[in-house]
Amino acid sequence: MSSTAVGTGLLGDLRHARVGVVGLGRTGLAVIDVLATLGARVSAFDARAEALEALGARATGPVVETSAGDDAQVAHAVAQADLDLLIVSPGVAATGPVMGAAAAAGTPVWSEVELAWRLQQATRPQVPWITVTGTDGKTTTVGMLASVLGAAGLEAPAVGNIGVPVVSTVAEGRSDALAVELSSFQLHTTHTLSPLAAACLNVAADHLDWHGSLAAYTADKARVYARARRGAVYNLADAATVDMVEQADVVEGCRAIGFGLAVPGVGQVGLVEDVLIDRGWHGDRRSAGLELATLADLAHLAPGGDVGRLPAHVVADALAAAALAMSHDAVQADPGAVARGLRAFAPGAHRLVTVAQADGVTWVDDSKATNTHSAQAALTAVPEGSAVWLVGGDTKGADLHDLVVDVRSRLRAAVVLGREQEAVVTALRDGAPGLPLVQVPDGEGGAVMDAAVRAARALARSGDTVILAPAAASWDQFSSYAERGELFATAARRLAGDGTGQ
């Protein structure tokens, strides 16, 4: 089977084909379910024996063999399986042995997104996808985009890296459009996707162990623009995204639309005082702009609901979502949907969510800030000298020195989490000498967070913000960033005395 085959031929191409599926999380199981309907013969691979045992308990139908083991063992099993196609989960590293084994065997490799796109073209090709990637802000932007499309009367769920497998939504066949969040991992093995519009929000060093280099990571992010049909949306403040669009191989007639916080020029979406203005899609864009929304429509996304504290990156995400949404005819016909959709948008859990307020102190959960870039964006939303920062965890080898220097003026104090704290404490003492800091001893996750919240309250003053923006992953002390955020919210509410944490 050719890796470039696309269209209605997919349904026949996969019948009786030998397809390997690596990774049996939610996405892998969704892929197997769809392959069952297409008549494929599936070989399932996972490093976790318990995942394969759970698979065996399901009515899997087409699964003909399974194999578990470490990456090297899975790679060997893949090489021996004589597959027509391999579909990999996002966790399968580009530089790892599994991808190497597939390449050596000449086996085509697809992401779940690639399978979903080909299924979309084979069943309901009229349904457009609007795609978003970037180091930070993807989930917020995709959520805003889906909300705006919904306000325009479309059934347009947010799917992809946001947590809902695209292939499941496509198989259901009920959507009018899809707002699709794509990680660099997913883009690496996505080959034929042709979105209505696409955006890369920003690029900062991340996941370099997976990709092998910053250049490879950036190149995979740039794949979001390939074959874009109507709009290539880019960040005017990020030179890497500007270069991506200049180099992108898009469909003829695709329009480049820049977004930024300044007054927009022709071909851009931006701000005029407190108004979001379109000069990218508006028919009279050369002489005038079209009002899409105001900052007041985003006030619920600011700490404490204060529009004056609205983070700049949230405004940028809204501008990107507006530019993407305007690529769809339904929104162009009803541009008021942008304001309605932004007002209706509810932020995702653990992304700059105000979880408690008491005694003049605001408690903000941004547990999803797992790298330095996103933590910096969160802290810049806090007034000078008023942040009590909960920081630390599994830093994945990142150096926090530059981050600390950049946010020092925002900080009143820091509370350090994590099993290994030396690197974080060193960065704080070097970059913010004299800053009060408390180190929380290692322990069980709930006890760690209770101690951190108590320490933060002792450091905070009226008017301050206690913000969990760890600039680190959670795996060393918590099961996930979600658990870390939930424990923080519970402890903060309990301490604030509003009863919701009891």
> Fold for domain 16-107?
Rossmann fold (3.40.50)
Residue 12 has pLDDT above 90, yes or no: no
At 46 the pLDDT is 85
Q: Which pLDDT belongs to residue 6? A: 33
Q: What would the CATH number be for the domain defined by 114-344?
A: 3.40.1190.10
- Interhelix angle 312-325/138-151, rounded to 10 degrees, is 50
Alpha carbon separation from 252 to 222, 226, 229, 473 (Å, rounded): 18, 12, 7, 41
- Residue 85 has φ and ψ, to the nearest 5°, of -160, 145
Give the CA distances from residue 86 to residues 3, 49, 74, 99, 111, in Å, rounded to whole numbers and listed in that order.
10, 20, 12, 9, 9
**Pick the residue with more confidence: 135 or 7?**
135
Residue 93 near residue 9, CB atoms below 8 Å: no
Residue 62 confidence (pLDDT):
58
Of residues 68, 98, 105, 63, the one with CA closest to residue 84 = 105
Q: What is the pLDDT of residue 278?
A: 98
pLDDT tens column, 437-452: 999 999 999 999 999 9
Distance, in Å, from the CA atom of 4 to the CA atom of 260, rounded to the nearest integer, reads: 36
Beta 275-278 vs 268-272: how paired, if at all? antiparallel
**DSSP string computed for 340-402:** HHHHH--PPTTSSEEEEEETTEEEEE-TT--SHHHHHHHHTTSPTT-EEEEE-SB-TT---HH
DSSP 295: G
Quickly list DSSP for 31-56. Answer: HHHHHHHHT-EEEEEES-HHHHHHHH
Q: Which residue has the higher pLDDT, 348 or 375?
A: 375
Question: Longest C-alpha distance within the chain, in Å?
Answer: 68
* 1 — pLDDT class (breaks 50, 70, 90): very low
Mean pLDDT, the chain, integer: 90
> Using an 8 Å Cβ cutoff, are 157 and 175 in contact?
yes
**Least confident span in 41-55, 260-274, 380-394, 463-477:** 41-55
Taking 80 as the threshold, does the pLDDT of residue 10 lie above it?
no
Q: Tell me, what's the pLDDT at 210?
A: 57
> Which range has the top average pLDDT, 43-47, 91-95, 285-289, 494-498?
285-289
pLDDT in tens, 264-314: 999 999 999 999 999 999 999 999 999 999 999 999 988 778 898 888 999
Give the pLDDT confidence of 324-346 residue by residue, as tens digits. Answer: 999 999 999 999 999 999 999 98
Residues 6+ apart with CB under 8 A from 336: none
Position 69 pLDDT exceeds 70: no
Answer whether residue 215 shows pLDDT above 90: no
Give the angle 480-486-487 at the CA atoms, nearest 5°: 95
pLDDT of 19 over the 70 cut: yes
pLDDT of 381 reads 80
- State the sign of the Cα–Cα–Cα–Cα dihedral 424, 429, 430, 434: positive
Q: Percentage of residues in the chain with pLDDT exceeding 70? A: 93
On whether the CB atoms of residues 313 and 272 are closer than 8 A, the answer is no
Instruction: Output the pLDDT for position 429.
Output: 97
Q: Each residue of 391-400: pLDDT tens digit?
A: 999 987 789 9
**CATH code 3.40.50.170 for 353-495:** no
Distances, alpha carbon 337 to alpha carbons 149, 220, 221, 234, in Å: 7, 32, 29, 22
As a 3-state breakdown, the chain gives helix, strand, coil percent values, each rounded to 5, of 40, 20, 40
What are the sequence ranges of the domains in the chain? 16-107, 114-344, 353-495
- pLDDT at position 51: 79
Q: Does 54 have pLDDT greater than 90?
A: no
Tokens of 373: 């870039």
More confident call, 57 vs 163: 163
